[in-house]
Structure 1
Amino acid sequence: MNILDKIIADKHKELVLKKLVVPVSQLEQAALFERENVSLAQKLKVSNTGIIAEHKRRSPSKSIINQGLNVQDVAEGYENAGICGMSVLTDGKYFGGSLDDLLYARAAVKMPLLRKEFVIDEYQILEAKANGADVILLIAAVLDREQIKTLSEFAKNLGLEVLLEVHNEAELEKSIMPSLDMLGVNNRNLKTFEVSTEVSKKLSEKIPSEFVKVSESGISSVEAIKELKEFGYKGFLIGENFMKTDNPGESAMSFVKKLEIKV
């Protein structure tokens, strides 16, 4: 079993318990369920920088990244830096996140929030909506075409945007459908954890122009973004680069300033 298989197996067990504790009716009655969503796709289209910054405490590949920060402070720092949107990891066992992180980030900022989670069930999309997300992530590596269709259409009906993540051409080909807003290319090989932006460059021409192109993982320099922009990418998901510092908001701000000079 690779790490992704383990995470998904645990997710199935977790969902059984969650559904017993918090029924769907309770999620649908949450105060934030009626909130009007903010479009990340639109923000990326008009932005010069296109940065989506992440809140991530740890990961299976890097172990601890930053356990000591308050999610509200990180969110406010990112918003002040002029970031387009924030990705909030909500997986507990492997990434040290929770739905509370999403809720606290939502209370702190107005910018679009992406719930970064291993979504395999409509219940998780209701959770995202109830806790203030604007966007959900679907990972093509763990879903078949029918699941992608069902889950993305369900999200769209709730007013949420969908970022679909692929790692290779086969995943991309099975995933293209009208119920997606953004197509993300993850530069990290999920089996080896090696990272290369060549993956994004290679797949760029295969992504239809109606989708906002997002490059994810391994983006740590202004030069990398400048290069990827030439391949039509509008969004750039940056996680560890900011989170491994003492002040992610400040490091995001200096990165954005450098980027604005370069573009």
Structure 2
Amino acid sequence: MAGTTVAATTVASTTVAELMAELAALEEPRAREVNAKRGDDHGVNLSKLRAVAKRLKTQPDLARELWKTGDTAARLLALLICRPKAFELAELDSMLREARAPKVQDWLVNYVVKKSAHSEDLRRAWFSDPHPVVASAGWALTSERVVKKPEGLDLVELLDVIEAEMKDAPDRLQWAMNHCLAQIGIEFPEHRARALDIGERLEVLKDYPTPPNCTSPFAPAWINEMVRRQSVK
């Protein structure tokens, strides 16, 4: 039994080493430069990273080993090949708190936590966390519920918190709160006027640079555009 364990560990370590070398070979200086502007410390083109994940398929044990490296590209790959339902609540909480790169945080929430049986418990735990990145994850999960399962949410209270705190919130938390504001305005006509009013008065992301043919993240513009699209379906 001991010999089997050593052999398995050696194979796993070799596999991780091979993948780390492969990811290093995929590094592109331009990609690293672009990613650095967003706070992400890696230079792997995400399309190429996804191609590696597609080849590997789902491998929970390998995913955990890749995560342990602490390398951003390796962690992104880990999130693509993991099994979301295999993680315990405390493990997911720890992963979010130790994730440094914004892209890792986003993928962890969107690709793993949202598919986990612990998503609602984590949403509640993270929502009012003093750490803005953790709180932003709670708000992201709340936006998901606003759209897919709003029953039980106090939308008036959410709007109260957004109105009181969004203007001065740190960037990532502000972005998540703004997203929630927009989704409430889009999904609930009875709250739309207030959501538009909050957005207009706070002016959060009003001047955010938006490429042509893309919808501005400024909540009033976002709400009005999505409602317009719904009306012409």
TM-score range relative to shorter protein: 0.3 to 0.5
Computing the radius of gyration over CA atoms, which structure comes out larger, 1 or 2? 2
The higher-RCO structure (CA 8 Å, 6+ apart) is 1
TM-score scaled by length of structure 1: 0.31
TM-score scaled by length of structure 2: 0.33
- Relative to total residues, which structure has the larger strand share, 1 or 2? 1
